[in-house]
Structure 1
Amino acid sequence: MGEKLLLIEDDIAIGRIVKDTLTKEGYVVTWATTGLEGLADFQADEFDLVLVDWMLPEMDGLTVCQNIRWQSELPIIMISARREEADKVEGLQGADDYLAKPFSLEELKARIASHLRRWHRYNKKETDEDRSFFEYGLNINWQKELVTLKDGEITLTQKEFALLKLLAKNPNQTFTKEELYQHIWQQAGLEDTHTVTVHIKALREKLKDSVKTPHFIQTVWGKGYRFIGEPL
């Protein structure tokens, strides 16, 4: 099976041409037409590279890039009709490359091949990186989704583990409740923050983490939450 690409493009004509072209090159292409659909596809599967349009319904390409970067360093190519230098600079804040429309399919194929070569070199990681160890006895096996606290296994729900992973993989970064809800529940907005609050509370209880003197999840009052666990 060929390398797996995620294409997020709402223009049907462009999306079909790009998908057909890359499929003929031997790639396995998943095509999404909205930002939220693309994010859901990304979280449901493993990909080698993402192609994302800037202007998308439900969630724009920059926000999609931000959500992907919270999880992975895989290559992202932004494709956009915006051609100004300032737009390219902004687009490259989250993406690795920027391709302005209209673009050559040959150039697109060349850029994809180049980024994939670098990604595969970068992605040769030691198996130890699948595990993280923190002070106060917290151990996380990311591949097996196994969490232990002082040698006792903790049973987390899928959402609780996803919250812990997002926070722990981005230490000391403050996430708002809206950002957590958007990323974990894959919904555009959050009028009621109760869902996030309830899951954070349950996660803290299982981690035996005090709100007043936390070892792992700290509340940043008026902003959100961040992971403060000290790695070993």
Structure 2
Amino acid sequence: MESIHILLVEDDPEIARVLRDYLTREGCTVTWSSTGLEGWEDFNQAAYQLVLIDLMLPEMDGFALCRKIRLSSDVPMMIISAHQEDHQKVRGLNLGADDYLTKPFSLSELSARIQSHLRRYRRFQGEREENGHQVEYRHGLKIDFLNQRVFAGAEEVPLTAKELALLLLLARHPNRMFSKKELYEQVWQQAEVDGNNTVTVHIKSLRTKLKDTAKEAVYIQTVWGSGYRFIGEQGEG
């Protein structure tokens, strides 16, 4: 196996050591996180080509970790769990995991599945880069997801890092309603506290810069009492 960086989130030290030692011998670089929260923090501190996640984790379970990672990244994710129930597998896959491997499993099967997902991901990345991954919306908005740039007509919109992160997150999941709590925890990577209006302030500034301040929103819609969703319609003009 070629050199890749894998994030392993597993709270059982014995299993983690076996997997880490095997993958290291295969030529991979492995970062081991022993809790879900540690896994989320590690994920945001480095670039990984694949993530292996156990379900029963302290601090943050594997389902929550899968959901948070998938909202911000297309990286291949594999769940490794002792749970064999179909509803657990379906839930994990619906949250964005690419595969579900039931313990105990052979190391050779793990290796084969990792290689398969890496090949598929490289094809996806190649197609995305070839296409530029730029999306044009009605009313003049263009988002370059690959280079993380935003344009209104021919002019680039000067967004702050947090404003850009909010827009990219919302636009990557069109018509999905995000609560303020979700947005804050995803973008600021901290637990939200009561009375925090940080998201509201940043959304207002973002709308102003996108000139999306009319009574009827064209890009970012407020779901009263719940949160926000991206409603931009693709198409020039």
Among candidates 120, 123, 131, match of residue 121 of structure 1:
123
Q: Does 1:137 align with 2:140?
A: yes
The question of 1:161 aligning with 2:161 is answered no
| Matched residue, 2:209 | 206
**How far 1:164 moved relative to its partner?**
0.5
For residue 78 of structure 1, give the secondary structure of its aligned residue in structure 2.
Answer: strand
Unaligned runs of 5+ in 1: none
Structure 2 stretches of 5 or more lacking a match? Answer: none
Structure 2 letter corresponding to 1:111: R
Alignment pair present for 1:52 and 2:62: no
The separation in 2 between residues aligned to 1:81 and 1:147, in whole angstroms, is 44
What is the Cα-based RMSD across aligned positions, in Å? 2.1
SS in 2 for 1:225: strand
**Separation of aligned partners in 2, 1:106 and 1:182:** 37
- 2: CA distance, partners of 1:110 / 1:33: 24
Number of aligned residue pairs: give it: 232
Provide the rounded CA distance (Å) in 1 between the counterparts of 2:85 and 2:130. Answer: 43
Which whole-Å CA distance do the structure 2 matches of 1:71 and 1:90 have between them? 19
1:34-53 to 2 correspondence within 5 Å? 34-53=35-54
Q: Distance in 2 between matches of 1:202 and 1:10?
A: 41
- Contact 1:36/1:188 (<8 A) preserved: no
Amino acid at match of 2:11: D
Q: Could you say what secondary structure the match of 1:92 adopts?
A: helix
- C-alpha spacing 1:211/1:81, structure 2 compared with 1 (3 Å): farther
Q: 1:60 Cα shift? A: 1.6
- Aligned CA distance change for structure 1 residues 148 and 156 (closer, same or farther; 3 Å): same
Contact 1:178 1:193 in 2 (8 A): no
SS in 2 for 1:70: helix
Residue of structure 2 equivalent to 1:220: 223
Counterpart of 2:62 in structure 1 is: 61
TM-score (norm 1): 0.89
Which residue in 2 is equivalent to 1:176?
Answer: 179
Which string of whole-angstrom CA distances, capped at 9 and with x for unpartnered residues, describes residues 43-80 of structure 1? 44332221111122332211221222223333211112
Q: CA deviation at 1:22?
A: 0.7
Letter in 2 for 1:201: K
- Which SS does the other structure have where 2:72 is aligned? coil
Residue in 1 that maps onto 2:110: 108
% identity of equivalent residues: 52
Q: Give the Cα–Cα distance (whole angstroms) in 1 for the partners of residues 131 and 88 of structure 2.
A: 39
* Counterpart Cα distance in 2 of 1:38 and 1:208: 38
How far 1:194 moved relative to its partner?
1.0
- Provide the rounded CA distance (Å) in 2 between the counterparts of 1:124 and 1:18: 29
In the alignment, the residues of structure 1 paired with residue 187 and residue 17 of structure 2 have an alpha-carbon distance, to the nearest angstrom, of 29
Is the CA contact (8 Å cut-off) linking 1:131 and 1:139 kept in structure 2? yes
1:146 equivalenced with 2:158 (yes/no): no
SS at 2:132 equivalent: helix
Question: Letter of the aligned partner of 2:120 in structure 1?
Answer: R
Distance 1:121 1:151, change over 3 A: closer
Query: 2:93 — aligned with what?
Result: 92
Pick which of 184-193 and 152-161 moved more: 184-193
Following superposition of structure 1 onto structure 2, how do residues 4-23 of structure 1 map, counting pairs within 5 Å? 4-23=5-24
Q: Distance in 1 between matches of 2:149 and 2:92?
A: 36
Q: CA deviation at 1:130?
A: 2.8
Counterpart of 2:102, as a letter, is: A
Counterpart-to-counterpart distance in 2, 1:108 and 1:230: 41
- Using the size of structure 2 for normalisation, the TM-score is 0.87
CA distance in 1, matches of 2:65, 2:119: 23
